[in-house]
Amino acid sequence: MPAEQLRLDLGHLTLAAQAWGNPELPPILLLHGWLDNSATFVHVAPQLAAAGYYVVALDLPGHGLSDHRAVGCGYWLWDYVSDVLLAADRLGFTQFTLAGHSMGGIIGVLLSASLPERVQRLLLIDGLLPYTAEADEAPQKLADFLRAQEALGGKRKPVYPERELAVKARMQGVGSITYEAAEHLCERGLEAVEGGFTWRSDARLTLPSPLRLSRAHALAFVQRIEAPTLLLLAEQGMLLTPLKQQLETVLAGTHIEHHNLPGGHHLHLDSAEGGQLVVEQMLKFLAKNESLP
């Protein structure tokens, strides 16, 4: 099922997006992870659409084919939440199912907890809590950001003389991925420049956060979620392996349904088989909760 290419004018910037299926069907909005783009759902989105949903995957600001933020602006989680809400408004999604991978899942948690009347169901792929820091760490976090921001002006993006070299470099990024997965991300993540290819993504995305939520802040959002929520954990991902004990504590007392699936952090993208496993769990969950408002 080929995707329709969309452009969503949010006023302060324009987002690129891909859509599958009939706009008259129940909507699902997909959010990708950090330094990825909407191509991360190449195995997932068409199957969800074939099952009877209108599926839209965004390129978040600074990623893929979307605009970069204006000079002087940053890429903070709460700004992404606002952008996603504006995108939903432009699409006419009064209520919708929200699905996110990694950072996209974190954005989904913040939006769902803040405006529960908008998000009917929440589907998370190896993403739940942002990185946190406590009050006594705040001065150092801000110092790290300021120094990195000053140094960024002297850095240049790498230029790869051949596209294949860029694909291989992307394989070694956050949550190492397969060659096939890297190829998909590079379709929207690369641009041709003099001497070869470089990344389209905004270099400011690599800056550390100047201020992080505390653990108490992050947990408050998780505990506030009202929508039926499914969390799919990769057995070799970024949540289950390093944070198993903490994760059990976070999920205790919530209504979040969670399942472990084989694969790494990009289990939904690394192979068609991994995507199929993710879709099967999502559709089973959606069917179980389809009668809910």
Domain extent, residue 124, equals: 4-133+213-288
- The yes-or-no verdict on residue 75 having pLDDT over 60 is yes
249 falls within a domain: yes
- The yes-or-no verdict on residue 281 having pLDDT over 70 is yes
53 falls within a domain: yes
82 falls within a domain: yes
Of residues 15, 32, 4, 19, the one with CA closest to residue 66: 15
pLDDT band at 216 (very low <50, low <70, confident <90, very high): very high
Q: How many domains does the chain divide into? A: 1
Of residues 230, 205, 173, the one with CA closest to residue 75: 205
36 falls within a domain: yes
What CA–CA distance (Å, rounded) separates 112 from 105?
Answer: 10
- Which CATH number is 51's domain given? 3.40.50.1820
pLDDT of 253 reads 83
For residue 66, indicate whether it is catalytic: no
160 falls within a domain: no
197 falls within a domain: no
Spatial contact of 213 and 109, defined as CB atoms under 8 Å apart: no
49 falls within a domain: yes
153 falls within a domain: no
Average pLDDT, rounded, for the chain: 94
Mean pLDDT of 108-113: 98
pLDDT band at 102 (very low <50, low <70, confident <90, very high): very high
pLDDT of 293 reads 47
Catalytic residue among 38, 66, 102, 201: 102
Query: Is 0.85 topped by the overall pTM?
Result: yes
